[in-house]
Structure 1
Amino acid sequence: MATLKDHLDACPLVAILRGISPDEAEAVGEALVGAGLRIIEVPLNSPDPFESIARLARRFGDRALIGAGTVMTAADIARLGGAGGRLMVTPHADPDLVREAKRHGLLALPGFFTPAEAFALIGAGADGLKLFPAEAASPAVLKALRAVLPPALPVLPVGGVSPETMAPWRAAGAMGFGIGSGLYRPGDDAAAVREKADAFISALKA
């Protein structure tokens, strides 16, 4: 199975579709994959999230890594695997959830904010780390963390990232970004999502 870093090397953006419904998921997924994104996350506080994940996995599973965000329980992880998802994302540092995700053969991208949390998650087998909320940190904080974290471990700032703010984070060692409302807000159609995705891709190339 491809690693998280493999997927981030293809495109270092994780699309976070908080609030999406199953009937919207495939059209929005097509817009994102068409723009070049290769990782899509449906937070579990969205309407019928496992159905959206299942539809995305069936349609794009050979081209994109599909997963769930806001994962809080072991039962969520079992349902995620059953829906065809392959990536678990949490908002918080829970090593037990990381171990459970790995037991199910999933990639694990848990949230953290402190060095102690980071190393506990790494010890549990995390494939990458989500620096959250990034608005409460800074590129300088990430640079300091990168000095002690494993060099090959992906760390992704999540929260408040825009096309204009990616460059300082990348210079500090970010290997990717989780993008939520900057890419999708409930009610956005596929054309609007494609336009915003294109702006992020253009900023990456610049």
Structure 2
Amino acid sequence: MSRNIVAILRGVTPPEVEAVSEALVDCGITRIEVPLNSPDAFASIERLASRFGAVALIGGGTVLTVDEVARLHDCGARLVVSPNMNPDVIRATRSAGMRSYPGVMTPTECFAALDAGASGLKLFPGSLIGPDGLRALRAVLPTATEVLAVGGAAPDNFVQWMAAGASGFGIGTALYRPGDTAAGVRKKAQAVVAAFDASSGGQ
């Protein structure tokens, strides 16, 4: 079963990234981003794309420039996640055949992102907007718009976010913190997946 959970491996290093990601994939989390402000992020992404590209959507996060999009494409990435809404980054991502999830907070940003070709929206920071804010946005967004709640979404509030219209989540520290072992990540992933399945009715 494919779950709309993006694992955010902020701070991960190339020597550990494959073992950590293997634990995630084994638990059913098959969307993985390495933020570009992680140590040697492009090397980690290249490793993941080579090993897991056939079974998982691998990409970069905290992507701010068109040049970074090009480097990600060269690494074999297929996913570009940003904290902001930059139409040039969105268009470059889509032109390269990759999926684009820009960070948005307001209706203006949401519609500008969609107009630029975004694959979906990263509602960020989710802790400031909350489920009530998402519910208001959902009233005006096109029905099929994919919205990921990021920053403030966690297993204990998946139900509230889903009820407000979240399509899925970007999950960071609830899955990985720098220094976590692969075994520790596996335990966290199992808990996140169980909460997600319970919240979404197994969809």
Q: TM-score, normalised by structure 1?
A: 0.94
Q: Quick check: 1:106 aligned with 2:106?
A: no
Alignment map for 1:70-81 (pairs within 5 Å): 70-81=62-73
Alignment map for 1:41-80 (pairs within 5 Å): 41-80=33-72
1:160 aligned to 149, 152, 164, which one? 152
Once the two structures are TM-superposed, the CA of residue 137 in structure 1 deviates from its matched residue by: 1.1
Once the two structures are TM-superposed, the CA of residue 44 in structure 1 deviates from its matched residue by: 0.1
Once the two structures are TM-superposed, the CA of residue 138 in structure 1 deviates from its matched residue by: 1.1
Match of 2:201 in 1: none
1:182 aligned to 162, 174, 180, which one? 174
Q: Quick check: 1:14 aligned with 2:6?
A: yes
Match of 1:136 in 2: 128
**Is 2:131–2:161's contact at 8 Å kept on the other side of the alignment?**
yes
What RMSD, in angstroms, separates the aligned Cα atoms of the two structures? 0.9
Match of 2:117 in 1: 125
**Equivalents in 2 of 1:10, 1:151: separation in Å?**
21
**Is 1:161–1:182's contact at 8 Å kept on the other side of the alignment?**
no
Match of 1:192 in 2: 184
**Is 1:95–1:120's contact at 8 Å kept on the other side of the alignment?**
yes
**Is 2:153–2:161's contact at 8 Å kept on the other side of the alignment?**
no
Once the two structures are TM-superposed, the CA of residue 72 in structure 1 deviates from its matched residue by: 0.8
Once the two structures are TM-superposed, the CA of residue 94 in structure 1 deviates from its matched residue by: 0.9
**Equivalents in 1 of 2:196, 2:71: separation in Å?**
34
**Is 1:36–1:201's contact at 8 Å kept on the other side of the alignment?**
yes
Q: What are the superposed Cα offsets for residues 124-174 of structure 1, whole Å, 9 maximum, x if unpaired?
A: 000000000001111111011111111111101100222111100001110
**Equivalents in 2 of 1:71, 1:86: separation in Å?**
13
Quick one: percent identity of the two aligned structures?
56
**Is 2:149–2:168's contact at 8 Å kept on the other side of the alignment?**
yes
Query: Unmatched 5+ residue regions in structure 2?
Result: 199-203
Q: TM-score, normalised by structure 2?
A: 0.96
**Equivalents in 1 of 2:197, 2:73: separation in Å?**
34
Q: What are the superposed Cα offsets for residues 62-113 of structure 1, whole Å, 9 maximum, x if unpaired?
A: 1100010000111100000000000110000111110111111111000000
**Equivalents in 1 of 2:49, 2:145: separation in Å?**
25
Secondary structure at the counterpart of residue 179 of structure 2: coil
Q: 4+ residue stretches of structure 1 with deviation over 2 A?
A: none
